[in-house]
Amino acid sequence: MPATPKPVRNWSLTRWLPRNWTPTAWSKRFALLAMLCFTPFAWAQSLPSSTLPVTTSVAGETATVVVGPASNPVAELTLTFDDATGLTPASLGVQAQLVDLTDATLLARLPGALTNPDSAFPLLVTIEPPRTGGLRFARTVRVEVHTHALTYAAGSSYRLFKAPLGGSFKDITDEVAPGSVRARGTTGGFSQFLVIADLRETSAVVAGKIAALRSRIDTLPATEQPAFDSYLDAAESAVAAGTFADAIAALDSFRARAAERAGTALTNEWRATRDGDNQAGDLIAGAATLRFSVAYLRDYGN
């Protein structure tokens, strides 16, 4: 179980409001958003969905996104690309919003009642690069969501989830680190990200990730499928036998093969034009999050 989260410090949005602002001059949504100046973030579940300001900067292969005021941000995202072209703040298309934790549409996108956004951090980040923005990258991008709104503890149940726009959220976590919480995951594409508490049995999570990888393998060229199936079979059998070191070794070999075959036998590029198929990136990312869950099962059980 995760440690009891603590609310973040109060932060003010008045710096973005015009001098002549009055509640009647703006929509109710912005009026409610301004109330956060006086309200701990833990109360945010009572608010309707509200857009937050973001500041994006790029240095080399890394993009940094600050959500909220720079002096006291709600969260910071770091996107580290393997090999990006056309990476600019505008080409990423980042948006952030507070979500209503009682929103039935949002809850239906989660994998069951045991996965829940935390009332201290009801933040949804959307990264939807514009089709004409020119962004493309090879293999994977590492996503880190860092927030002081949540408290880290060893064996934390906080996870980084990702979904296509309007689609189902899936766990892509490959690391959870302190500071206060840094949830990290690897992906072969975008769009929406949530950090949530996942209280499902770890064995069920592992089984789900194995099934997802099998489905992705089935989309590969027929000549590429047997080797990846063999590594995944070995990992699955090792998990069932409780020989976790063997399972992790098989997944490491799986990832190494995907990286080796990327750009030759496997397609390996994501493009903002949405006309690519990042086979290698999806395999690498899927194996990375499965490896995390196998290690968590080894260390903490179900």
| Residue 221 forms part of a structural domain | yes
Q: Are residues 255 and 108 in the same domain?
A: no
Q: Are residues 243 and 258 in the same domain?
A: yes
| Residue 4 forms part of a structural domain | no
Q: Are residues 148 and 184 in the same domain?
A: yes
Q: Are residues 144 and 239 in the same domain?
A: no
| Residue 239 forms part of a structural domain | yes
Which CATH number is 46's domain given? Answer: 2.60.220
Residues 53 and 16 sit within 8 Å (Cβ to Cβ): yes
Q: Are residues 135 and 258 in the same domain?
A: no
Q: Are residues 145 and 69 in the same domain?
A: yes
pLDDT digits (tens, 9 = 90+) for 229-264: 999 999 999 999 999 999 999 999 999 999 999 999
At 70 the pLDDT is 83
pLDDT digits (tens, 9 = 90+) for 37-79: 333 343 333 334 589 999 999 999 999 999 998 888 999 999 9
Choose one of 144, 164, 198: the last residue of a domain: 198
> Rounded to the nearest 10 degrees, what angle do helices 225-241 and 279-300 cross at?
10
Choose one of 171, 198, 225: the last residue of a domain: 198
Q: Are residues 129 and 254 in the same domain?
A: no
Q: Are residues 168 and 94 in the same domain?
A: yes
Choose one of 138, 171, 198: the last residue of a domain: 198
- What does the alpha-carbon distance between residue 72 and residue 77 come to, in Å, rounded to a whole number? 14
pLDDT digits (tens, 9 = 90+) for 208-234: 999 999 999 999 999 999 999 999 999
| Residue 142 forms part of a structural domain | yes
Give 167: exposed, middle or buried? Use CB within 10 Å, 0-12, 13-18, 19+.
Answer: exposed
Domain count, the chain: 2
| Residue 3 forms part of a structural domain | no
Q: Are residues 94 and 178 in the same domain?
A: yes
Q: Are residues 89 and 172 in the same domain?
A: yes
93: containing domain: 14-198
All residues at 6 or more sequence positions from 179 whose CB lies less than 8 Å from its CB, including other chains: 146, 152
Residues 2 and 115 sit within 8 Å (Cβ to Cβ): no
pTM for this prediction: 0.84
Q: Are residues 138 and 287 in the same domain?
A: no
